[in-house]
Amino acid sequence: MKVRESGSSTGSWLRPQRFGTDVLRLADGSLRAMLECTSSTAQLPDAIAALCATPHPVQVVVRFRRAVANGASRLARLRASYAEMVARLNGEPQPLTERLLVVVPWDFGESASGQVVLNARTRSVGDRLELVGLEPTRLRASGLDALTIVDNVEERRREVQIGDRWARTLYISCHPERLGAGWFRPLDAEHDVAVQLRPVNASLVEASTLLTLWADSLETLDRATWRAEEILSAHGVKSRRPHLQAEPAFAAGLPLCLDGALAPAVQLRAGAAIRLIRRGAQDRRAELVYGVHPGSQRPLVFDRFALENPNTVILGDDPSGGRLLVQLELLRSRLTGTSAYLIDPEGDHAHIVAGVGGAVVGPTLDTRTPFDPFSLNSEQDSLATRIQVLAALIELLARGLPAAVRPALEDALAFSYATCGFTDDADQADRVPPSLGDVVLTLERRALRIGGARRAEMEAVIHRLARYVTDDGRRLFERPAVRLSDRAPMTAYVLAGLPPEDRPAAVLLSLDQVWKSLSRERRTLVVVAGIDPLLPHEMATRFAAQLMDNAASRHAGLTLVVSNVAGILGGPLSQSVLSAGMKLLLRQTPDAASRLAEVFQLTPAEQSSLLSAPAGEGLLLVERQRLAFKSVASEEERRLISEGGLDDRP
């Protein structure tokens, strides 16, 4: 749909009507769908790069406002609330909240099946955005209305007045690459950046860019315009104000994908902006607030992935404080675009993951579980690794393994894989792996060849494994009918639906499943909200220690929540804990506080503070710093944590 010519009357052309729940109908019958990208709007270049090759027009709009609009997603409200909290802690004014929108058009006259075509285009655009990690969600109902309905527009010479607000749209003459995360950060006025992409041919796309500034008075709008023009000029970007074209320019900058023919356009090759994806990924950081200093209220901000060791350990006899720290880091990591996996033995955190658009996997013994421990389905996986993982898993299932049985078990695992044709140097893709039943059968045959105490020990292990071969426990090892998608931004394995005696094994199964799915190209947080059940088992803890030691090479950071201080410091995980980049020490028992004081060389005052620390308070050890900290949450974080509600967007 074309923007009206200057001088014609303002009317219904600027008031699209909702058609169904997720489509807007313009005055001439054209249709529009809108996607909101829930990750950081610092990824504007990524969105442009992803959409350059679309065979139809598309518009990308970034909105900056003081307050979140009605109908905004839970994640948008969470981001705004967190930004407000950080600004308040730093003594700064209320920040602008950011929303990244993509508008998909179907114009009247293109074809008769408008809604069918629009839905197909929207799915295609969504797929392109997902490939660069932008997590698009289609807006519906009030979310659409709040973004598009504009009433009482009065045109002036170079600006428009909408009720008691003023707006001016500037035409930008530049390549979209100049509109990265940098140039608009100094702007303190509310504003929109709109980039419309129109295909010229298979290899060229035409791009028009507009900047719309908002203010409560004309004088404030003039100051904001001068400031914007200074910033643009400093970056070598040319701009001009509209003259007797204020309303058409304003309309072209709205998220309606109107044909803003008045805006200057530049042509670029469809593949030229792909390099922006890499640049954007390098520029994004994952700095999070981990609390405040109790005295000064100074925020303690760190990027754990910038540390030499990105792992974190939460130690203490403070269940509520540990839960709060885990939930806050999950929520804040979600805002930075960090992928996350949560292993939740008791189901304390499922509502957090679901509330921010993550996937919740709740295995039970009534259906097939998502675990597939016998398969080699990762480039980093090897036969030796599979045998190590399965030996640790069987140790947990058997409630411990006598030292004499361990070599026999590893030999039985290797024999079972060899029988199925697996070797260390062959392609395993077309081979069917063995099952636990195959391993148990091999152990039974080996037990018949020996006698005495060793035979009795092996038979006891075989007896305890029987439940996982023929009874309900077999569900833990049945290959899943459908593999989990790795496209969810956050995934929680909630193990509360399993019998308590099976949860330690399920923790290890979940860890193994997560580790096989990690990508070296994507920063990933992995949280184990309760590692204590694994601590008595040497093989399981050695496997966990190996994962911690290799986390940095996989671009991952592992977080362990531990209440048994003596158990973790006295076992195979001790060195991994000591070398973790961040340690958060919560309230401790006297014995645990004494042990921590010895290991971390705490002062008597620090040791004493841990004995009576309130919930969510303690010591933060990061690199060479030891800092007292107190957990803080934004209003929206507190609401989500306390309510346990899902995304309430209409």
Between the two ends of the chain, the Cα-to-Cα distance in Å is 28
Which residue, 105, 92, 249, is CA-closest to 168? 249
pLDDT at 60 over 70: yes
Let me know if residue 24 belongs to a domain: yes
Confidence band of 459 (pLDDT split at 50, 70, 90) = very high
Q: Could you report the per-residue pLDDT of 538-589, keeping only the tens digit for each?
A: 999 999 999 999 999 889 999 999 999 999 999 999 999 999 999 999 999 9
Give the pLDDT band of residue 20 (cuts 50, 70, 90).
confident
Per-residue model confidence as pLDDT tens digits over 330-341: 999 988 888 899
pLDDT by residue (tens digit) across 188-210?
Answer: 899 998 888 888 877 788 888 89
- Is residue 298 a part of any domain in this protein? no
Model confidence band, residue 634 (pLDDT cutoffs 50, 70, 90) = very high
Q: Within a 10 A sphere around the Cβ of 181, how many other Cβ atoms?
A: 16
Answer for the pair 629, 620: CB distance below 8 angstroms, yes or no.
yes
| Band (524; pLDDT cuts 50, 70, 90) | very high
Average pLDDT (226-243) is 86
Joined together, the tokens standing for residue 158 give: 């170079």
- Name the pLDDT band for 41 (thresholds 50, 70, 90): very low
Question: Phi/psi class of residue 527: alpha, beta or left (left: φ > 0; alpha: ψ in -120 to 50)?
Answer: beta
**Mean pLDDT confidence for 248-258:** 90
Average pLDDT value for the chain: 85
At 351-367, the pLDDT tens digits run 999 988 889 999 999 88
Gap between the Cα atoms of 210 and 253, Å rounded: 6
* 40-49, 319-328, 610-619: least confidently modelled range: 40-49
CA–CA dist 188, 169 (Å, integer): 16
Looking at the predicted structure, is the pLDDT value of residue 318 above 90?
no
User: Which CATH number characterizes residue 100's domain?
Assistant: 3.40.462
* Distance (Å, whole) CA 390 – CA 395: 8
Q: Residue 581: inside a domain, yes or no? A: no
Amino acid 141: pLDDT: 73
- Asked whether residue 106 is domain-assigned, the answer is yes
- Kind and range of the H or E element at 117? helix 114-131
| Residue 650 reports pLDDT greater than 60 | no
Quote the pLDDT of residue 185. 65
Residue 256, domain member (yes or no): yes
Q: Is pLDDT larger for residue 497 or for residue 451?
A: 497
* pTM beyond 0.75, yes or no: yes
Determine, yes or no, domain membership for 38.
yes
- Structurally, the chain folds into a number of domains equal to 1
Mean pLDDT of 64-87: 82
Instruction: At 326, list the tokens.
Output: 């885990």
DSSP string for 293-337: -TTT--EEEE-GGGSSS--EEEESS-HHHHHHHHHHHHHHHHHTT
pLDDT digits (tens, 9 = 90+) for 398-452: 998 998 899 999 999 999 999 998 877 766 667 888 999 999 999 999 998 888 8
CB of 396 within 8 A of CB of 540?
A: yes
Task: Tell me the residue range of the domain where 27 lies.
Answer: 12-281
Which of the two residues, 53 and 121, has the higher pLDDT score? 121
Structure confidence at residue 313 as a pLDDT band (50, 70, 90): very high
More confident residue, 389 or 16: 389
Region of poorest pLDDT, from 48-52, 403-407, 613-617: 48-52
- pLDDT one-digit tens code per residue, 130-171: 887 788 888 887 777 777 667 778 989 899 999 889 999 999
- Give the 3-state secondary structure of residue 200: coil
The string of pLDDT tens digits covering residues 82-124 is 989 999 999 988 888 888 899 999 998 887 788 899 999 999 9
pLDDT at site 273: 42
Contacts with 629 (C-beta within 8 Å, 6 or more apart), sequence order: 290, 291, 292, 293, 294, 300, 584, 617, 618, 619, 620
pLDDT exceeds cutoff 60 at 395? yes
Residues in the chain: 650
- What phi and psi values does residue 628 have, to the nearest 5 degrees? -70, 140
- Which pLDDT score, from 0 to 100, does residue 204 have? 80
- Three-state secondary structure call for residue 42: helix
pLDDT of 535 higher than 70: yes
The verdict on residue 486 lying in a domain is no
Give the pLDDT score at 42. 53
Q: What is the pLDDT of residues 575-587, one digit of tens each?
A: 999 999 999 999 9
In a domain, 208, yes or no: yes
